Amino acid sequence: MWCSRVSLRRLQRIVVAPLNTSSPVISMQRAKSTLPRVYVTRRVPPEGLRILNESGQVQYELWDSDDPVPRQELLKRVRGVDGLVCVLTEKIDAELLDAAGPNLRVLSTMSVGYDHLSLDELKKRGIRVGYTPDVLTDAVAELTVALLLTTSRRLIEATHEAKTGGWGTWRTMWLCGYELANSTVGILGLGRIGVAIAERLKPFKVKKFIYTDVAPRPELASMIQAEYVSMEELAKQSDFLAICCAFTPETKEICNKKLFSQMKNTSVFINTSRGGVVNQEDLYEALSSGQIAAAGLDVTTPEPLPTDHPLFTLKNCVILPHVASASYSTRNAMSALAANNLLAGLSGEPMPKELKL
């Protein structure tokens, strides 16, 4: 997408920590020869870059764009690096790790999910991995509640009607949706985010919270008075079903025809975890046939979802472009944590948040 070599060079920025020496030229040469080399695959929020700049511990090259670095360019840029800071759009697999070579010691991803990482390959090569959980819990929980309310109360439809002349005389059942009061909210995958969602929904007078997971999680469940149920009961009982599980081989397309067929036809389905946990063809059938009432998605497969995808034709499906963590404070906190994970890993110290392989 870059139109010339000049623009490409302009987009690459190498920042070298300064050394105390009388000659700036010698300083630059010494820095380049002694400091660990790091490649940053995206223009990350400023707090992370500030930490790297002020640390005096690394020299880094930055793909200075909001768009992903092209794959072939990425494979060239990672050669010989000691550390890598990436985001969830970069596939970190054997090909990339081979291209990077044996110097690569630390990978820091600015994400809580890690399905873009080949964990077996990283473990085999002894590469430490940092990630960014916890710091985005509040932002994701807020967005999940916003998406749930937008979907259940049909706000996108209502806005469209107001803008396009559909707002006529008052009608008794026009644009009616579903209330949270006296409802049962189900959570698939009870972790920090699931608990945070439930805490925010409590003031809406939810009658009951239920959840399922690979095993009961009594400590977390006690925080929201949630009841552990089977997958089948979760589907049958939930008026609102929030998907909060990680994407793993076991959860791939776990939300499928079987699940949707067990849900009420008044149920609202919300997914802010990963698109791969949903069979989107089955979801389309459930929505278009009236098997379930509505769905709100912040994640899809693929991303971005093609604009001609059938789900976009449905009024009862609200689709967002993966923005759950998109608040200024959260994205800066993620960037800072990714930088601190990287620096700790390169120094041989415990990372603030390390993924145990």
Active-site pick, 116, 160, 309, 322: 322
Say whether 322 is catalytic.
yes
Tokens of 110: 């600015």
Distances (CA, A) of 86 to 28, 63, 107, 112, 170: 25, 10, 8, 12, 52
94-100 own/partner pairs: CB under 8 Å, 24+ apart:
94/118, 94/121, 97/121, 97/122, 97/125, 97/127, 99/75
How far is it, in rounded angstroms, from Cα 225 to Cα 18?
54
How far is it, in rounded angstroms, from Cα 144 to Cα 218?
23
Tokens of 112: 């809580």
Rounded (5°) CA angle 184-221-298:
60
How far is it, in rounded angstroms, from Cα 62 to Cα 56?
16
Which residues form the catalytic set? 322
